[in-house]
Chain A
Amino acid sequence: MDKTATKPSSLSDVAAAKQKKSPGAQSLGVGLEARGVHAWFSGKHVLDGISLDFWSGTVTALIGPSGCGKSTFIRTLNRMHEFIPGAQMAGEVLLDGKDIYESGTDVTKIRLKVGMVFQKPNPFPSMSIAENVLSGLKLAELKVADKDALLEDCLERAGLWSEVKDRLNAHGGSLSGGQQQRLCIARSLAVKPQVLLMDEPCSALDPGSTLKIEETISHLSSSMTIIIVTHNMQQAARVSDYTAFFLSDGGPGSMIEVGPTSEIFSRPRDTRTENYVTGRFG
């Protein structure tokens, strides 16, 4: 709350304030590792050898100008990349030390462990709020002893419980955009993922809803690995422990720099990172 009250003057101050609150000491080990991930669309090379570790219990922000491959990269982490016709990839993504692209891997199990929140809120239109939250159980055919407790827990963690507890049977579409997005977050929490991928989750939302989702992210980060793509540098500084800067110079996108968020925003090693985070381009 003091983050907004004191209005820090620069992004590095924001990032530093964040670091002080959680000094990144709660890392629980490596949650997800990308090893030399390349990606192509119909033969066009769009992602060039990304290697990156995501520590459990931390938030990693992926920043960079449009078209640098951030979203493509995040979609290789739960095998959503292969849904795009013409998509190809190379490299390894290790979850609990096992390559998720290994042949014979049950891809639906991977997606249960690596959940995803999309850019546009996409609650299922034929379902109520409660059904939306629990839809993952039905889709993945999971059994849960106490559905009501899970429902409340997920909505509570997504910061939506108090707003919807009296109308759980209302349509998901009857919520505002920000509420819908938090409903989608609650929906992905219900299947208990280890990792949560968020692809510009606030880009379609107003500042108030954005703030709520950022609070949600902070709450969630203690128990899981969160990877968030964002165009909003303030947001990256506010919510993330680590930041990776992606850039494409017309060719495939590559990772220029990665480090603790406070360092990326205060003393980046690469001048291109500095130019980007200070708003000189991009």
Chain B
Amino acid sequence: MSTVIATPKPGKPWTATPQQRLITASIYLGAVLVSFTLVAITPMKGKLAYFVVFFFSSLLIDFILSYIQRGMASAKDAIARGFVSVGMTLAVLPIFSILFEVVKRGYKGLNINLFTKDMSLTSVNDPIGNGGLIHAITGTIIMVAMALIVAMPIGILTAIYLTEIRGKFAAPIKFLVQAMSGVPSIVAGLFILSAYVYPITGALSGFAGSLALMILMIPTIARTSEEVLLLIPNDLREAGVALGGTQWRTVALVVVPAAKSGLVTALILGIARVAGETAPLVLLTGGGEKVNLNPFDGPMGSLPIYIWKCFGQGTEESIARAWSGILVLLVIVLALFISARFLSERKVAK
């Protein structure tokens, strides 16, 4: 009698059995029941009351069940798990509700004119199909691009100073860069207003706006690039120098190429940081209604200003325009973040 030993079926013995799932489900069911009962019989009212009662009762039931089944350590684990999940929920709830609200209110205003026309011939009460925000899109792109052209080398060179050269001033500069990333954007705007606009040009312009954006962008790029460069193993620097390279050539040929995708991420985060900045642009750009491709002359529109103005006008049409503007801005920023994530993940895959 030959017994054929069959290959066992692949499974996941560590996952929850139906019985365990039933227990988990009943914990939540119980908590729901408790919250309904308590809200009904006590003076507590509203969504918040449901949420709070549900949270604490599910935590309590989970705690007791875990204690009975597996002891105190497991019960504490259940408590920690409960708080972590509620923290996560509270963190993502606003994000999703913002997205939901923006899409709900903004999509109605979407039409092709948004991307082909400006607001120079449109008044506040015109229907939403009249006029568009091409002047704002071009303005934002020009100002952010100009800020990036200056902030990119400054930010990355600062990071290289902090991680590669590690000179005497590394510690104070690191501190300053961190402090600078906390500078309120209105302060950057006022600084450019008093240091550039009043004494030099005397007129508002897109360039003045991009200077303020640059001030806000540098610390973001410098800090992110620093983190990225710190991840490059020291072995590579030593290998480069041991091959007879000077420090500069080692940094340029070995360290920076190895960190390239991370540095691209740093730039995109820098762009995303300033793309929605409003306060300094209100002070500095004049916020025109017409497409203006010359940043050195005349007022320049931008998406945040467009949104801010439209809300200020207060008519039904202009508020709808504002929501469409928010949607466009959000999509641009989201696209940047997704591409940043994509680029940094590709680095890990290598």
Do A and B actually bind? yes
The reply to whether A108 and B244 form a contact with Cβ atoms under 8 Å apart is: yes
Complex CA distance for A207 and B243, rounded to whole angstroms: 27
A113-152: CB near B (< 8 Å → 1, else 0) gives 0011010101011110000000110111100000000000
Bound-state CA distance A118–B243 (Å) is 12
Q: B238 contacts A83, CB within 8 Å?
A: yes
Is B341 part of the contact surface with A, judged by Cβ < 8 Å?
A: no
Q: Using a CB-CB cutoff of 8 Å, which residues 243-259 of chain B contact chain A?
A: 243-246, 249-250, 253-254, 257-258
Does B350 interact with chain A (Cβ within 8 Å)? yes
Interface size class of A (residues with CB under 8 A): 20 to 34
- Do A136 and B253 touch (CB < 8 A)? no
Q: Are B238 and A124 in contact (CB under 8 A)?
A: no
| B168–chain A nearest beta-carbon distance, Å | 13
Q: Is A182 an interface residue (CB 8 A)?
A: no
Chain A residues lying within 8 Å of B87, measured Cβ to Cβ, are: none
Whether a CB of chain B sits under 8 angstroms from the CB of A80 is: yes
Q: Given A136-B243, A139-B245, A140-B244, are A80 and B236 neighbors across the interface (CB < 8 Å)? A: no
Q: B324 to nearest A CB, angstroms?
A: 43
From B238, B245, B253, B258, contact of A80 by CB (8 A): B238
Q: CB-CB < 8 A to A83: which residues of B? A: 238, 241
B105 CB–A CB distance under 8 Å: no
B245 with A140: CB separation less than 8 A: yes
| CB interface residues, A 59-100, toward B, < 8 Å | 78, 80, 83
Range of interface residues on B (Cβ < 8 Å): 20 to 34
Distance A112 CA – B241 CA, assembled complex (angstroms): 9
Interface hits, B187-225 → A, CB 8 Å: none
Q: Is B244 touching A126 in the complex (CB atoms < 8 A)?
A: no
Q: A136-B243, A140-B243 are in contact. Are A118 and B236 (CB under 8 A)?
A: no
User: In the bound complex, how far is the Cα of B238 from the Cα of A59, in angstroms?
Assistant: 23
- Cβ of B338 < 8 Å from any Cβ of A? no
Tell yes or no: B176 within 8 A of A by CB: no
Instruction: For A124, give its contact among B236, B241, B350 (CB under 8 Å).
Output: B236
Q: Is B25 part of the contact surface with A, judged by Cβ < 8 Å?
A: no
- Among residues of A, the one whose C-beta sits closest to the C-beta of B254 is A124
* CB pair A122 B243 closer than 8 Å: no
Q: Is the CB of B242 within 8 A of A80?
A: yes
Contact partner of B239 (CB less than 8 A), chosen from A118, A126, A171, is A118
Chain B residue numbers with a CB within 8 Å of A140 are 243-245, 249
Output the nearest chain B residue to A126 by Cβ-Cβ distance: B257
Please tell me if the beta carbons of A188 and B243 are within 8 angstroms of each other in the complex: yes
Instruction: Choose from B242, B249, B250, B258 the contact partner of A116 (Cβ within 8 Å).
Output: B242
**Of A109, A118, A139, which contacts B254 at CB under 8 A?**
A139
Contact check, A139 vs B235: say whether CB atoms are below 8 A apart.
Answer: no
Distance, CA A191 to CA B240, complexed state (A) = 12
Evaluate contact between A139 and B253: CB separation under 8 angstroms. Answer: yes
User: What is the distance, in angstroms, from B144's C-beta to the closest C-beta of chain A?
Assistant: 28
Closest CB of chain B to A3's CB: distance in Å? 30
Interface flag for A238 (CB, 8 Å): no
Tell me if B243 and A187 are in contact (CB < 8 A): yes
**B243 A126 Cβ-Cβ under 8 A:** no
Nearest Cβ on chain B to A257's Cβ, whole angstroms = 29
Provide the bound-state CA to CA distance between A83 and B240, in Å: 12
The reply on B260 being an interface residue by CB < 8 A is yes
Q: Contact: A112 with B350, CB < 8 Å?
A: no
- A38 proximal to B (CB < 8 A): no
The 9 sampled A-B contact pairs (Cβ below 8 Å) are A108-B246, A122-B238, A124-B240, A124-B258, A135-B240, A135-B254, A139-B245, A139-B249, A187-B239
Point out residues on A near B: beta carbons under 8 Å. Answer: 78, 80, 83, 108-109, 111-112, 115-116, 118, 120, 122, 124-127, 135-136, 138-141, 171, 173, 184, 187-188, 191
Q: Given A108-B244, A139-B249, 8 other A-B contacts at CB below 8 A?
A: A108-B245, A118-B235, A118-B242, A120-B235, A124-B236, A124-B240, A135-B243, A139-B254
